[in-house]
Amino acid sequence: MKKFLLVNFIVAMASAVCLSFVPAKTEQPTLEASIKRGEIVFKAYCLACHQANAAGVPNLYPPLIKNTYVLGEKKALITIILKGLMGEIEVNGATYNGMMPPHNFLNDQQVADVLTYVRNSFGNKAALIKPAEVKPVRVKLKL
């Protein structure tokens, strides 16, 4: 009986370990799901500088509200997230001179999600960004 229980326990543990290595089923990206995940990333990595309301900090960190960087070309925005941004920039008629560090430690899904969140929050409305759009930018930047 003890052997039987031990064998069953070993089989159960081996099954659990094997299942943990099975990749999750790939789902079609949806705007709502991406925004929800992106909000978590935003709160963890962006909120301190860009603020909870995305209004930024005068002279340092620009607002993420209806600006051409956020609503503009996807590749440029992805590049800013992955590579960071240093130096003076003008956003919505104001000058900012803070430094945004690279966030290339985020995976492609996280980058796509946080950008989709920002592009669809705070009064913004723009297209979903997919992980497949992040990957070639990352490769081009050799990150």
72 is a domain residue: yes
134 is a domain residue: yes
CA distance 123 to 125: 7
Return the CATH number at 114.
1.10.760.10
- pLDDT confidence of residue 15: 40
- pLDDT confidence of residue 19: 35
**For residue 98, which amino acid is it?**
G
Q: Give the distance, in angstroms, between the CA of residue 114 and the centroid of all CA atoms in the same chain.
A: 4
Q: Which residues contact 87 (CB under 8 A, 6 or more apart)?
A: 97
130 is a domain residue: yes
- pLDDT confidence of residue 7: 38
45 is a domain residue: yes
User: Which residue, 60, 66, 38, is CA-closest to 48?
Assistant: 60
Q: What is the pLDDT of residues 35-75, one digit of tens each?
A: 999 999 999 999 999 999 999 999 999 999 999 999 999 99
23 is a domain residue: no
- pLDDT confidence of residue 29: 62
What's the token pair of residue 120? 């669809």
> 89 by DSSP, 3-state: which?
strand
CA angle 51/118/93 to nearest 5° reads: 70
Q: Which residues of the chain have pLDDT under 70?
A: 1-29
- pLDDT confidence of residue 9: 39
Number of domains in the chain: 1
- pLDDT confidence of residue 24: 39
Domain, as residue range, for 86: 34-140
**For residue 9, which amino acid is it?**
F
Q: Give the distance, in angstroms, between the CA of residue 31 and the centroid of all CA atoms in the same chain.
A: 13
CA distance 131 to 116: 11
CA distance 74 to 71: 8
CA distance 33 to 29: 7
